[in-house]
Amino acid sequence: MADLNVTFAGVPFKTPVVVASGTFGFGREYGEIFDLSRLGGICVKGLTLRPRLGNPPPRIAETPMGILNSVGLQNPGVDRFIEEELPYLKTLGTNIIANISGETVEEYAEMAEKLSDAGVDLIEVNISCPNVKAGGAAFGTSCDAAASVTRAVKRAARVPVMVKLTPNVTDIAEIARAVEDAGADAVSLINTLLGMRIDINTRRPVLKNNTGGLSGPAVFPVAVRMVWQVRRAVKIPICGMGGISTGEDAVEMMLAGADIVAVGTALFRDPFAAIRVTEGIVRYLDEHQIENVTEITGKVLLN
C-alpha cells in the first residue's frame, strides 16, 4: 500500500486528510462512531478569546450542492477549550489544529500564546474576521492587515502557524504572498464564499443574518483554481479545502498544489467521509503505482 505520511510545516501527519474547522466540533460525537486516530488531524471548531453564543437562527440553510451558514463562531472560548476539550483531544493519537478568530490583532496573539502553551500541534488563523479597529473590513481582504495578524501570531506562537485565506478577494495569491512574507509556516484555503438565499414566499433572506458562507461541492472548482494559483505564488505548504467529498476530489486538489487536504461539509452527509476520502487516495496511488502521496502534490500537467 502507498505511503500516506506527510510532513506539513514541520509536523508529521500519518495521512494527508484532516477534518475542517467548524464541521467536526471538538471530535467527541465522531469519536463515538470511529477511531479518530485514523485521521491525519482534527481542526477544531473556531475559537475566540471569550465565549460566543453565535448568531440567532436560522443560521444554516441547505443549497444546491452545498450549505450556506452564518453560525457566528459559537464556541466556549479559548480558556474553556483548553480546560475541558483539549485534554480529551490529546488522547486521540492525531494532530490537533486550533482555529482562532479575533476582532483585534492583540486577541489573535493572546490566543496563540495560550494555545501554544497548552500543547496544540498547529494554529490555524482565520483572517476572514472583521477588524474592528479598521472599520470592520475582514483582515483577510487586505495584504497589510493579513500580514499584521500573521506577524503578531508568529511572535506569540511556539508551534507552526497556518493562515486560512478567504476567497472573497480579487487576488488570493497576493494575500498568500503577504502572509508568507510575514512569516506564516503554511496557508489553508479556501474559506467559505459569501452567499445569500431568499425565501420567495416571505421575501426575506433564509438566514437571519441575511448572508452566509457557502461551502460544499458547489465551491470545489473555485477552490481547486485558487489552490493552483497560490501554489504558483508561494513556497510554504498548502492545506487545500472547499467541497472535497471523495478520494478523487482530494487527489485533484493535491495535483493543483495542496500538500494536505481538509474534508468539511461532506461530513454532514456522511460522518465517515474523511475515512472514505483517505481510502480513495490509497486506491488512486496503488492503481497508478505511486509509492508516496507526496509525489502528486502540484503535479498537474497544464494544457
**Which three three-digit cell numbers place residue 59?**
443560521
For 47-77, b where at least 16 C-beta lie within 10 A, e where not — what string? bbbeebeebeeebebebeebbbbbbbbebbe
- The 10 Å Cβ neighbour count of residue 103 is 16
Q: Which residue has the cell 467541497?
A: 243
The upper half-sphere exposure of residue 154, i.e. CA atoms within 13 Å in the direction of its Cβ, equals 16
3-state secondary structure of 163: strand
CA distances to 10, 49, 99, 160 from 77, in Å: 28, 5, 12, 21
3-state secondary structure of 237: coil
Long-range contact list for 149-153, CB < 8 A, 24+ apart?
Answer: 149/102, 149/105, 149/108, 149/125, 150/125, 150/178, 150/179, 150/182, 150/183, 150/184, 151/182, 151/183, 152/105, 152/106, 152/108, 152/109, 152/112, 153/100, 153/108, 153/109, 153/112, 153/123, 153/125
Q: Show which residues are catalytic.
A: 129
CA angle 296, 67, 191 (to 5 degrees): 50
